Structure formats: C-alpha cells, structure tokens
Amino acid sequence: MYYQYRLSVIATALLFGCMSCNPMGETVHKPGIEVNKSGPQWHLGAMVSAANPHAVDAATAILAKGGSAIDAVIAAHTVLGLVEPQSSGLGGGAFLLNYNNATDDLSFIDGRETAPALASIDMFMKDNEAMGFIEAWQSGIAVGTPGAVALYASAHQMGGRLPWPDLFETAIELASNGFLVSPRLAGYLPAMARRSRLAINPDTAAYFYPEGEALQEGDLLKNPAYAETLNRIASEGPSAFYTGDIAQAIVKAAKAEPNGGSISLTDLANYSTVNRPVICGPFRNLKICTTSPPSSGGAQIMIANLYDHLISDGSNDADRVAAFTDAQRLAYADRDHYFGDPDEVAIPLDALLSPAYLRHRATQRFAPQATPTPGDPATVIDDLAMVPQWARDTTEEMAGTTHLSIIDSDGNAVAMTATIEGAFGSQRWAKGFLLNNEMTDFAKAVPEDGTRLANAVAPNRRPRSSMSPTMVFDEEDNLRMVTGSPGGNSIPAYVAKTIIGVLDWGLSAQQAVDYPNIIARGEKVRVEIAQPEGKAIAEDLSSRGYKVQERAGENSGLHIIVVGTDSLDGAADKRREGKVSSIKPQTP
C-alpha cells in the first residue's frame, strides 16, 4: 500500500473530481454552509462506526427505528459509557459536529468540561513545581464540570427525532441485565491496579475489582447505579444530572482526598454547552470542515494545506510521507502555541488558516533535526506581533477518549469525539460512572518568569483539546467523509492521516485507518511499526535525518465513513474493539 498510492490517486481523483484544481481558495468560518446543493437526494443508506459493538448495535437499532444520526449518537454514547468506561461517559465531555443534509447546516456543539469557579492558575503547583503526572491525573483538582449530558440535550434539541427517553433504553437494559467485559477493558485493569488508585478508591474498587480481583474478559458485569442514573436523566431530563443527588455525588467524589478539588453544586447547575463556529478551509477542490477552538480541528486544515505546499508533481511516495511529517511539525507548533479557550484568549485563527499564512509557513519547513517553533501570523496581519504573546506549551493529553461517526438514512451526519481524558478519568466514581480528569489538559506548570500560556488554567475556562471531529465536503457541498479519533495529543496526526490517506494516497477507509500512524509533534517523530510498511517508513525517515521513535502500536481509535458515489465505505480501528454497521438504502 505504501508504495502503491500513486495509481490510487487517479482513482481518488475520479471519485472526488479534479484533485489539483483550485489548490488554495479562501478559508471560511461559518456556522452553516450556504445551500448550494446540486447532488442527488440521499440514496446511500445509513452507517455507524464506533469503538464497541454494543454501542454500534444500539445506534443501528435507533436508525432502523427512524431515528436521526443525533438520536443514534446519544444512544451509542450512553452504551459506550457502560461498556468502554475507560474512555468516556457521563462524567466527561464531548465535541459534536452535526451535518443536516436537508438544509446543509453544519453545527458544532461544545460540551467540553469547564474549570470550577474556584480554579486557579497554580492549582496544579506544589512547592513551586507542577504536580507529577500520576498525582495530577487522579486528583480531584483535575475534575472539571462534565458536559456530556448537557450536550445530549442540546443535540437532541437540534436534531433529535425520537422521544428523548427512547435513547437511553439500550444502555439501561445492558446496565441492568449485564454485559460481557471486553478484552480491552479487562486488559487495562491489572496495570491500573499497579499504577493508579482504581483498585483503591472504594467505589471504583468495588466495581472493577469485586472481591479484590480484577474483572476478567467475559465476566458478566451489571451496573445498576448507572441504570438508575440514566433512568433519571431519561425521565427528568439533564437537570436530574446537574442538580440534586447526582450532582451532590459528583461533588463529594471530586472533593475526596487525596488532592480534593473545588468543583461545587453551583458549577454543575451553571454548566451549559456552547454552539461554536464550524471552521471550513479549502483543500484542493474540497472543503475540510471541523470544530473551532478549544478543539484542535483547525490543525486538520493546516496539516492538509501545508502538506500540499510541501509536495510537488515529482514527489515520490516517501517524499509524501516526509511532507506529511513536516506538515505536522509546522502545524503542531502553531497549535501548541496559540490554541486555548476562545472565550478567554485571542486566537489568531483566521490568520493561521489563511492561504497567505499557510503558504508562508510552508517555507519554514524545519530541518529534520530541528525543534519546531511556532510561526508568526503577523506575516499576514499587519502590525501584529503574535509569537511573543505566549510562553511555550508542551501540555500532554492522554488517550481516555473515543470517537463515533454516524450517517443516517437521510444523509445527516454526526462526528462526535468524547472523553474523560486519562484512562478511567480521575478514577473517581459517582452513581455508576467515572469522573473526568480533563483539567490536566490545561498547562499545569506556571512559568516562573511571569509569562503566560494560552492554555493556562482560569476559573470557568475550557482546556484546549486535541479532539477534532471532522467532515469533508465537495465543491457542491456534498458530504464526502466523516472522521475523528481519540488519542490525546496524537489526535491531529491520526485524523490527518485518514484525510490525506483517502484524498491523496487513494486509500480506502479501512486502508487509511490501518495505515501506520506517524506522529510528528516536537522534535521526535513517532512511527508505528506494527506493519511492514511502518518499518519501511521509519527507516526512510531515519535516513532523512529525523529523530524517529519506533512504536510497536499506537492508541488511535479512528472511526470513519467515506461517502462514495454509490456506497458508503466505513472503517473501525482494529487497534480498538469497534465495528462498522450499515443499513441498506430503502428501495423506492
């Protein structure tokens, strides 16, 4: 595959139209794409790709009942919170990108966790040093106000078709009657017992280590507390979660020692989702549309366009992989430097995504041994010196996250990435679910020299996220691709691989997902060598002088759908446990 994509480019060009036309148009921000639909009525059926078969089945059943993609994603995610509790759930947050095929509207619902009102810039500092990673990860300080349940309600209001209570039925039934513990969930537990407080905190220990022994693959696991919480949300709405005894249980768990946090009932009662702009940028004759900050979706537009500047007609396969690597090095340096909560910090997003800046930025391609540094959009904005504004940020994010891609029978689509941050979040438990540790996505250290970071902690602020649910559209605004992944800081690299893999390398959805992950943030380049192509890529990049770190496996969880002329092509990441399910189009 690695050495074959040039032929496939021709096939892709046929699928997507003139791939080399109009390489750089204007970048646009818009909450909704203009209606410009010349394509046929939707005739491709429905599809779901997500990280666990129970969740995919729940979504498919909802779609089969006439539910929308939004109905399906809510049903699937409530199941994921049960069967894949290490990755996401009611105690965390999510970004949802929604496409309405009838109106061509694209919407972004930000259900990111917020910092408590009593959070402070130095809350992770102890004795003038930032708290160690493991201590911070498991602390109550790390618990932000969860956004997932509010996001369900906002999404349902936006595009739900089935009654709200119906969306919780499958998860309630599975939680009440039990489900079989998956290999991945069971596989985490011995290591978590060694590295974390999961087997020590009384409630999590009782659930994941009954009688003191870790759950095993295939054990029947019931979660009546989760069933009860969902029952309450189903019958009373989101206020059942954000007020009353569920909210009290969240606060109590987050405040528990060691390192109790400051989240309060008021923080919970005040939580709301935010409808933010969708950002769309051109890529050849297509449009990449994704979530704006605090998401890192903008990096998708940057990587794709920088990649195009760094290749030429004469670029061979290996040159293209090197260009993909360097596009990431440039884009990550900018993302790390400028992105944060857009309500709190000025992010020069227009400039960073503008054709003029990206053209200029591509000329700054770093030598393979160099440590990438941020570019300065002042090159395209007069009288603005941007770089000195923020100190250097190297925040680490973990991979306790999941991604779902869904298209319904009317051609509506949802890409949702949801998280509780680290595996099993903060390992704190309330009413059948884990609480997030999302506050560690903020920069924990406070620079001693008084400089500040775009992603510093502040009261009520949302931490920067790498989550990047993304869709691609053609020039007539027809949907062409739905993509996204978990993976902490590696998310922009994982997702960009599928966009470039499908659109330039001519890979199928599954080939793009399977293709070795290449992550180039900072001075090192990680290359996944599980397949022979990965070894060849690592050797080629090493021979070019890059500081390559070979990795046996990567933690991507890419769940993508590519829209072809006559069919949908879906893929689930074999690195996790998911699957793809489809519903055939109805014959007229």
Please give the positions annotated as active site.
401
Q: Residue number with the shortest CB distance to ligand GLY? A: 465
Q: How near is the Cβ of 499 to ligand GLY at its closest, in Å?
A: 18
Beta-bridge mates of residue 406: 48, 414
Interface residues toward ligand GLY, by CB under 6 A: 397, 401, 419, 421, 438, 441, 465-467, 488, 491
Given the complex with ligand GLY, which of 73 and 491 has the nearer CB atom? 491
| Residue 173: both structure tokens together | 């039934």
Which residue bears the tokens 């966009």? 499
Look at residue 518 and give its three-state secondary structure. Answer: strand
Look at residue 442 and give its three-state secondary structure. Answer: coil
Q: Sign (positive/negative) of CA torsion 256, 259, 265, 270?
A: negative
Q: How near is the Cβ of 467 to ligand GLY at its closest, in Å?
A: 5
* Cα distance between residue 377 and residue 382, in whole Å: 9
Q: How near is the Cβ of 341 to ligand GLY at its closest, in Å?
A: 12
Given the complex with ligand GLY, which of 299 and 563 has the nearer CB atom? 299
Q: How near is the Cβ of 309 to ligand GLY at its closest, in Å?
A: 27
| Residue 300: both structure tokens together | 């998708």
| Residue 250: both structure tokens together | 């969240």
* Cα distance between residue 414 and residue 478, in whole Å: 14
Look at residue 335 and give its three-state secondary structure. Answer: helix
Given the complex with ligand GLY, which of 455 and 510 has the nearer CB atom? 455
Angle of CA points 422, 428, 432, to nearest 5°: 105
Given the complex with ligand GLY, which of 487 and 506 has the nearer CB atom? 487
Q: Cis (ω within 30 of 0) for the bond into 183? A: no
Q: How near is the Cβ of 555 to ligand GLY at its closest, in Å?
A: 11
Given the complex with ligand GLY, which of 438 and 573 has the nearer CB atom? 438
Q: Give the E-state strand segments of 343-496 in sequence order.
A: 400-407, 413-421, 428-430, 433-435, 470-473, 479-483
Residue 155 burial by Cβ neighbours in a 10 Å radius (0-12, 13-18, 19+): buried
* Cα distance between residue 137 and residue 248, in whole Å: 22
Look at residue 308 and give its three-state secondary structure. Answer: helix
Type of residue found at 350:
D
Angle of CA points 495, 500, 502, to nearest 5°: 95
Given the complex with ligand GLY, which of 229 and 455 has the nearer CB atom? 455
* Cα distance between residue 134 and residue 339, in whole Å: 25
Q: How near is the Cβ of 515 to ligand GLY at its closest, in Å?
A: 21
Given the complex with ligand GLY, which of 375 and 488 has the nearer CB atom? 488
Are the C-beta atoms of 154 and 273 separated by less than 8 Å?
yes
Q: How near is the Cβ of 146 to ligand GLY at its closest, in Å?
A: 13
Given the complex with ligand GLY, which of 438 and 477 has the nearer CB atom? 438
Are the C-beta atoms of 310 and 500 separated by less than 8 Å?
no
Q: How near is the Cβ of 112 to ligand GLY at its closest, in Å?
A: 8
